[in-house]
């Protein structure tokens, strides 16, 4: 485990345990729509030996018009056991950006009742920089056995957020860039106006990472929330553009000892597309 967080594992530890039958490695890379990159193709070109690819837009609520919304527990169990994941395994997730989409998949597994799920500290960039093994060999598919138990309290919907913005006991914290939150920079999704939920605070997820896309130390993480005016004694609901990088904030808040948490699954993509959502801009 890493000294940065109990939810991080070191690259050295993972390399030593790649052949452990109870360890399963997951490539959870995801890119924004405007990045024009294919995460699955990049996985097939090179990945950590034995890793499987988790497509968070495929193991999702496919009836929703919103991206990668949380599926039902049955849909999630069906999807992950087809990847070969079973209850009782230790799941290690990484992404190609260091720390961006992997926390969303970590949060999803946690929300589905899995406690033994971790994130590779430094992600694939650190793994590559250290000269650790990569392969383009396909990982053999096998059927897993998985039962999911959805923790409904961890997930917030639009109605929850309409109440939350008027609740003095709740802080809403947005992981998007400051310009998008202020409404002065465009959103990456076409035809979606930028801005913020009334009363929300802004902690861009990139502010929580060092130059190598690794978490900063615990004191610096806590101070960043304090500097943003976040009252850490209150319940905190994290949000972002589509519910992905909000999970970076959730990971960090858990790391600094704050456990009264929710995540707005639809996030700004849902909020800004609904006429009944109040919006503030500078």
Domains 8-150 and 153-271 share a fold: yes
pLDDT of the residue at 2: 64
pLDDT tens readout for residues 168-225: 999 999 999 999 999 999 999 989 999 999 999 999 999 999 999 999 999 999 999 9
Known active-site residue 156 = no
Reported pTM: 0.97
* pLDDT over 70 at 37, yes or no: yes
Q: Is 84 exposed, middle or buried (0-12, 13-18, 19+ CB in 10 A)?
A: middle
Tell whether the model's pLDDT for residue 33 goes beyond 90: no
3-state secondary structure of 196: strand
What was the pLDDT predicted at 185? 97
Round to whole Å and give the CA distance between 16 and 5: 20
Q: What angle do CA 128, 32, 127 make, to 5 degrees?
A: 10
Q: What would the pLDDT profile of 247-265 be if each residue is shown by its tens digit?
A: 999 999 999 999 999 999 9
Residue keyed to tokens 């056995």: 145
Mean pLDDT of the chain: 96
**Residue 16 CB contacts under 8 Å (≥ 6 apart), including other chains:** none
Examine the pLDDT at 3 and tell me if it is beyond 70.
no
Non-local CB neighbours of 22 within 8 Å, separated by 6+ positions:
88, 89, 90
Would you say residue 266 has pLDDT above 80?
yes
- Checking if the pLDDT of 113 tops 90, the result is yes
- The fold for domain 153-271 equals Oxidized Rhodanese; domain 1 (3.40.250)
With a cut of 80, say whether residue 4 has pLDDT above it. Answer: no
| In the chain, domain spans | 8-150, 153-271
C-alpha span between 141 and 40 (Å, rounded):
15
Q: In the block, which residue shows the tokens 């994941």?
A: 85
Specify the residue for token string 């707005």: 264
Say if residue 10's pLDDT is above 90: yes
Residue range 114-164, pLDDT digits in tens: 999 999 999 999 999 999 999 999 999 889 999 999 999 999 999 999 999
Two tokens at 59? Answer: 């193991």
Instruction: Determine whether 46 is exposed, middle or buried from the number of CB atoms within 10 Å of its CB (0-12, 13-18, 19+).
Output: middle
User: How far apart, in whole angstroms, are the C-alpha atoms of residue 134 and residue 27?
Assistant: 12
20, 34, 181, 188 from 185: Cα distances, Å: 46, 14, 8, 9
What would the CATH number be for the domain defined by 8-150? 3.40.250.10
Copy the structure tokens of residue 204. Answer: 């861009």
Average pLDDT of the residues in 15-30: 97
Q: Give residue 204's pLDDT.
A: 98
Rounded mean pLDDT, 7-14: 97
- Catalytic residue, chosen from 8, 240, 251, 272, is 240
Which tens digit of pLDDT belongs to each residue from 39-91?
Answer: 999 999 999 999 999 999 999 999 999 999 999 999 999 999 999 999 999 99
Q: Residue 1: its pLDDT value, please?
A: 62
């Amino acid at each position: 485990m890493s000294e940065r967080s109990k939810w991080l594992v070191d690259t050295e530890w993972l390399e030593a345990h790649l052949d452990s039958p109870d360890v399963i490695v997951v490539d959870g890379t995801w890119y924004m729509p405007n990045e024009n990159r294919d995460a699955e193709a990049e996985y097939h070109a090179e990945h950590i030996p034995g890793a499987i690819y988790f497509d968070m837009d495929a193991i999702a609520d496919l009836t929703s018009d919103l991206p990668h919304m949380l599926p039902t527990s049955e849909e999630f169990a069906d999807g992950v056991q087809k990847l070969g994941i079973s209850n009782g395994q230790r799941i290690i997730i990484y992404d190609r950006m260091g720390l961006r989409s992997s926390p969303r998949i970590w949060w999803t597994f946690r929300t589905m009742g899995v406690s033994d799920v971790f994130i590779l500290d430094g992600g694939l960039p650190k793994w590559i920089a250290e000269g650790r093994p990569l392969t383009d060999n396909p990982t053999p598919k096998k059927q897993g056995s998985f039962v999911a138990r959805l923790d409904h309290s961890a997930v917030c919907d639009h109605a929850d957020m309409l109440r939350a913005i008027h609740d003095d006991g709740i802080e809403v914290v947005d992981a998007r860039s400051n310009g998008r939150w202020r409404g002065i920079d465009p959103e990456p999704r076409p035809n979606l106006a930028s801005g913020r939920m009334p009363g929300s605070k802004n902690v861009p997820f990139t502010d929580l990472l060092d130059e190598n896309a690794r978490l900063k130390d615990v004191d610096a993480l806590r101070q960043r929330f304090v500097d943003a005016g976040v009252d850490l004694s209150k319940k905190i609901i994290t949000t972002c553009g589509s519910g992905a990088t909000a999970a970076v904030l959730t990971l960090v808040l858990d790391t600094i000892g704050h456990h009264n948490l929710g995540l707005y699954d639809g996030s700004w993509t849902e909020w800004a597309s609904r006429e009944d959502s109040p919006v503030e801009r500078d």
